[in-house]
Amino acid sequence: MSPELFPSRRAPIFADVPDEKWNDWRWQLSHRLNSVDEFEKVFKLTDGERRALSTSGLFRVDITPYFVSLIDPDDPNDPIRKQVIPTDAEITPFTGMMEDSLAEDLHSPVPGLVHRYPDRVLMLVTTQCASYCRYCTRSRIVGDPLAQFSRAEFEMQIDYLKRTPQVRDVLLSGGDPLTLAPKILEELLARLREIPHIEIIRIGTRVPVFLPMRVTQELTDMLEKYHPLWMNIHVNHPNEISQELAEACDRLSRAGIPLGNQSVLLAGVNDCPHIMRKLVQDLVRIRVRPYYLYQCDLVEGAGHFRTPVAKGIEIIEALRGHTSGYAVPTFVVDAPGGGGKIPLAPNYLLSMSDHKIILRNYEGFITTYEEPVKYEAHDPKTCRYCQSKRMEPGQGGVSGMLDGEQMFIKPEGFDQLHNRGGGQHRLRADTAKWTPLGIGSGNKKELEG
C-alpha cells in the first residue's frame, strides 16, 4: 500500500488527544459531534447549516471525530461535509417524497426483515450508526437512541428464516450491524449459522468509513468464524479513502471477507465521471470491488441530493471500457413503491437481424457479431440443472416467461377492464382458447408425451 496517497488527518481541536484514545473506537463513539457549538470549533458553519442544526425533529446528527477531520474546514462545499452536516435544504419537501420510498415495511413479513427477492432477505438488526448520512434511505427508523437492538424482533426474524427454506442469503443491515455490542453481533451470526439453508451471510456497513478503528483484529478474528461472510462498505468520494480505511479493509480482506462498495449518486458530492473514476480506481487499490451505484431515493431529507438519472448513465459510460472492469459498479434505481433494484446502463446494442448483431464499444467503434445460422438449442430434458430448478412460483418474471412458465404478465385489473362490463356470451364460454399450448406447469404435459 502507498501511505503517501492517503494521509491520516486530525482536525486541530483533536491535536492533543493521545493516540491510544484516538485509535479507540469507544472514545470515537463517545466523542461524536452533533451541535452548532461543537462544529463551530472545527469549521465555520453556513447560515443554512446553522438553521438546520437548530431545527427540532431533525434526523439525527452525530459524526465521529475521525470522520469530521476528513472535512476541509475552508470549503463549504466539501463532499464529506455535505454527506453528514445538515442544511436547511434537507427540511424542504419535494414532489414524490415518501417516508418509506422503497416500501420496505410493506415487504416485511415480520418487523425488520425485508423479503423482496426470492432467495435472499434484508435483515435490519439495529437502528444505530457510527455517524448519520443526511440522505439516509431509512431515516424513518434509523437514529432513534431509544430504539436499539430488539431481542423480541430478532427472535421473530430467526423464526421466519427457519421456516422459509428458500432464503439462502441473509443481508444484515440497519442501522449499522458493526455498531452492535460485539457479543450481540456474534450471537446473531451464530444463530444464523445454525440454520442449514442459509448459505451466505452479508454485512452492509459504513463503520470502516466512519470508524475504521472499530475493525480490530479481535473483530475480524470473530467474523472469520462465520464464513462464507461477505461485506459491502459505503464510500461516495475519494476523500473518504484514508490510510485508516485502507488498513481496515486490509484487515477484513485478510480475514477472507470479500469486500464490495455501494455508492449513492449525490448532487454536489460525486455527480461527476472524473470523481467517480478516481473513486472506483482507489477502491480497487484497497481491494474493494465497486458493487452498486444507487440513484438517490425519493426519501425525506434527500431531495436536494437527487440528480437526473442520466447522470448515472453518463458515469457508467465514462467507466466501462475506460478503466478496469473490476472497477465498474452496476448503476441501479431502487424502484419507488418497492420494485427492488433496476439496473440501468448505456446501450451498446445498435441493431440486429436474425443472425447478425451490431454493437458499439466504449470508443464508438461499431462491429458485427455473426451469430450461428444453425444453433442446436440447449435441451432442458437432458440438463439436470433444468430438471431440478427450484424457482419460486410467482417471481419468475421475464426470465420465467423465457423459461416457459407463463406467456404474459398483465397489469392489475387487466381482465376486468377488458371485459368492458360485458357478461358471459357464446364466444367467451370456452376459456381453454386463451391457454397457450406447452406453457405453464399445467399445460406442459400435453407436449411432453
Q: Which residues are catalytic?
A: 116-117, 120, 129, 133, 136, 138, 297, 334, 341
Q: Is 138 in the site for ligand PLP (CB under 6 A)?
A: no
Residues that bind ligand PLP (rule: CB under 6 A) add up to a total of: 7
SS3 257: coil
Work out whether strand 356-360 and strand 366-370 pair parallel, antiparallel, or are unpaired: antiparallel
38 vs 169 by CB, closer to ligand PLP: 169
169 vs 224 by CB, closer to ligand PLP: 169
Q: Is 122 in the site for ligand PLP (CB under 6 A)?
A: yes
113 vs 213 by CB, closer to ligand PLP: 113
The correct pick among 32, 81, 82, 120 for binding ligand PLP (CB under 6 A) is: 120
Alpha carbon 193 to chain centroid distance?
A: 23
The correct pick among 71, 114, 231, 299 for binding ligand PLP (CB under 6 A) is: 114
Taking Cα atoms as reference points, which of 64, 57, 73 lies closest to residue 21?
64
Q: Is 167 in the site for ligand PLP (CB under 6 A)?
A: no
Q: Is 22 in the site for ligand PLP (CB under 6 A)?
A: no
Q: Cα(38)–Cα(353) distance, rounded to whole angstroms?
A: 65
The correct pick among 32, 81, 82, 116 for binding ligand PLP (CB under 6 A) is: 116
Q: Is 306 in the site for ligand PLP (CB under 6 A)?
A: no
Length of the chain in terms of residues written: 449
The amino acid at 167? V
Stretch that binds ligand PLP, among 29-37, 109-117, 428-436, 439-447 (CB under 6 A): 109-117
- Which residues from 333-362 bind ligand PLP, rule CB under 6 A? 341
Alpha carbon 105 to chain centroid distance?
A: 17
Query: Closest residue (Cβ) to ligand PLP?
Result: 122
Q: Is 304 in the site for ligand PLP (CB under 6 A)?
A: no
Where does 31-76 have alpha helices with state H?
36-40, 47-53, 65-68
Torsion angle (degrees, nearest 10) of CA 316, 318, 321, 324 = -80
Q: State the minimum distance, in angstroms, from the CB of residue 271 to ligand PLP.
A: 22
Residue 420 C-alpha cell reads as 368492458
What is the full DSSP assignment across 303-332?
GGG---HHHHHHHHHHHBTTB-GGG-PEEE
Q: Is 142 in the site for ligand PLP (CB under 6 A)?
A: no
51 vs 341 by CB, closer to ligand PLP: 341
Stretch that binds ligand PLP, among 16-24, 115-123, 149-157, 215-223 (CB under 6 A): 115-123
Q: What percent helix, strand, coil does the chain show, rounded to 5?
A: 35, 15, 50
Q: Is 80 in the site for ligand PLP (CB under 6 A)?
A: no
The contacts of residue 329 (CB under 8 Å, 6+ apart) are 261, 262, 263, 280, 290, 291, 292, 293, 319
Name the residues that contact ligand PLP, by CB under 6 A. Answer: 114, 116-117, 120, 122, 171, 341
